[in-house]
C-alpha cells in the first residue's frame, strides 16, 4: 500500500483499517500519523522503522465498495479487487468486514527509515496496531531525522519543505498546549471564532493553530505570521504577553529560521511594536 503511494508521489491518501471503529481517544484532526513498517526493520535491533507520515484531515467509515468509490487509488491499490484481497488478508477471520474505517491524510511525505530509539523512545516490536508518540520532543526529533533521511524517489526540495512546514505546525500546537487561548467567556470565544473565520475569508493562507479558537497562523516565504484575537474587553497587555509566550515556547520546541510577526485580528499590526517597547 505505502509503496504504491510512494511511487505515485501521492500527497493525499486514505489510510484504511479493517475495523469499523475510528474512535482513537487521543487522535484528532490536524494530528500527524506516522507509518511504522515491519518491512524496514533495523538490521541489528530488529526495530520497526518509520518511513513516512501524513496529517489527518478527516475520518470516515463505510463498506469496501463505498471506500473505493470515494477514494479509488488513494486507498493504496490499483483496483478494487486488489483492495478487497488486501483487506481480507489482514482481517482476523480472513473475510471482508461489513465496514472499514479510514483516515484521510494530506501532506503525505516519505523518507528512508528512522527509528524511535534514536528519538529516546522505546516501543515493543510486537506493536500491531498503533502507539501514541509523547512527549512533544520525540515528535520534533523524529521530524528532524526525517528531514535528514529524504527518500530519493521524491523531489528533495518538496520533501524538505513539507517536513519543515509540519515542524512549524507541530511547534505551534505544542506551544499552544502550554499557553492556551487568552481567557474569555463562552460568548467571547464564539465571537473570536467568527471574527477569525472572517479574517481567513479576507486574507488567504491563514489557518487556526491546532486546538485554538482565537489564534491563526500563516507560513510564508521565510516568514511566520501569528494572528491573535483582539476585542475591546481584552487588555492589550494580554496580547503582548501571549505573543511573548509564543516566542518563548516556539524557541523551546523549534526555532524556525524565518521572521516571526504577531498581528491582531482588528488589523492593527502594532503588537510587535508594543512588545519591543516593553523589552
Domain map (residue ranges) of the chain? 2-154, 174-278
Higher pLDDT, residue 248 or 278: 248
Report residue 148's pLDDT band, with 50, 70 and 90 as the boundaries: confident
Mean pLDDT of the chain: 86
| pLDDT at position 277 | 45
Element at 17 (helix H, strand E): strand 13-17
Q: Above 90 in pLDDT, residue 151?
A: no
Q: Global pTM?
A: 0.82
Query: Is-contact 59 67, C-beta < 8 A?
Result: no
Q: Please write the tens of the pLDDT for every residue from 159-204.
A: 778 888 999 999 999 999 999 999 898 999 999 999 999 999 999 9
| pLDDT at position 231 | 87
Write down the architecture of domain 2-154 according to CATH. Roll (2.30)
Cα separation values, 75 from 16, 96, 143, 152, 255, Å: 7, 15, 25, 23, 36
Write down the architecture of domain 174-278 according to CATH. 3-Layer(aba) Sandwich (3.40)
Query: Is-contact 136 170, C-beta < 8 A?
Result: yes
What is the spatial order of strands in the sheet that 215-220 belongs to?
207-208, 215-220, 223-228, 259-264
Query: Is-contact 114 52, C-beta < 8 A?
Result: no
Higher pLDDT, residue 150 or 30: 30
Cα separation values, 222 from 36, 168, 228, 258, 260, Å: 31, 12, 20, 5, 9
- Give the single-character DSSP code of 30: T
Report residue 85's pLDDT band, with 50, 70 and 90 as the boundaries: very high
Q: Above 60 in pLDDT, residue 270?
A: no
CA 58 to chain centre: 12
Percent of the chain scoring above 70 in pLDDT: 90
Report the distance separating Cα 275 and Cα 240, nearest Å.
Answer: 6
Q: Please write the tens of the pLDDT for every residue from 192-241.
A: 999 999 999 999 999 999 999 999 999 998 899 999 998 888 888 888 89
Q: Above 60 in pLDDT, residue 13?
A: yes
| pLDDT at position 19 | 80
Query: Is-contact 176 211, C-beta < 8 A?
Result: yes
> How much of the chain is in helix, strand and coil states, percent to nearest 5?
40, 20, 35
Q: What b/e sequence results for 134-150 when a residue is b if at least 16 CB atoms lie within 10 Å of its CB, and e otherwise?
A: eebeebbbbbbbbbebb
Amino acid at each position: 500500500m505505502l509503496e504504491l503511494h510512494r511511487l505515485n508521489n501521492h500527497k493525499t491518501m486514505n489510510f484504511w483499517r479493517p475495523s469499523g471503529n475510528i474512535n482513537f481517544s487521543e487522535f484528532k484532526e490536524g494530528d500527524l500519523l506516522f507509518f511504522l513498517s515491519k518491512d524496514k526493520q533495523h538490521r541489528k535491533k530488529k526495530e520497526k522503522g518509520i518511513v513516512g507520515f501524513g496529517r489527518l484531515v478527516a475520518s470516515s467509515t463505510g463498506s469496501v465498495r463505498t471506500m473505493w468509490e470515494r477514494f479509488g487509488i488513494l486507498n493504496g491499490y490499483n483496483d478494487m479487487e486488489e483492495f478487497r484481497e488486501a483487506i481480507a488478508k489482514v482481517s482476523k477471520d480472513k473475510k471482508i468486514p461489513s465496514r472499514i474505517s479510514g483516515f484521510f491524510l494530506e501532506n503525505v511525505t516519505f523518507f528512508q527509515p528512522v527509528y524511535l530509539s534514536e528519538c529516546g523512545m522505546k516501543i515493543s516490536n510486537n506493536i500491531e496496531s498503533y502507539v501514541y508518540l509523547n512527549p512533544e520532543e520525540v515528535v520534533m526529533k523524529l521530524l528532524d531525522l526525517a528531514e535528514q533521511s529524504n527518500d530519493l524517489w521524491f523531489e528533495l526540495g518538496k520533501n524538505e519543505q513539507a517536513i519543515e512546514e509540519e515542524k512549524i505546525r507541530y511547534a505551534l500546537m505544542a506551544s499552544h498546549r502550554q499557553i492556551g487561548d487568552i481567557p474569555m467567556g463562552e460568548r467571547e470565544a464564539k465571537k473570536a471564532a467568527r471574527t477569525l473565520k472572517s479574517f481567513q475569508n479576507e486574507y488567504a493562507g491563514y489557518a487556526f493553530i491546532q486546538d485554538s479558537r482565537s489564534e491563526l497562523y500563516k507560513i510564508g516565504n521565510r516568514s511566520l505570521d501569528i494572528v491573535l484575537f483582539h476585542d475591546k474587553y481584552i487588555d492589550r497587555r494580554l496580547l503582548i504577553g501571549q505573543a511573548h509566550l509564543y516566542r518563548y515556547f516556539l524557541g523551546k520546541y523549534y526555532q524556525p529560521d524565518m521572521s516571526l510577526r504577531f498581528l491582531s485580528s482588528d488589523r492593527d499590526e502594532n503588537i510587535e511594536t508594543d512588545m519591543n517597547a516593553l523589552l
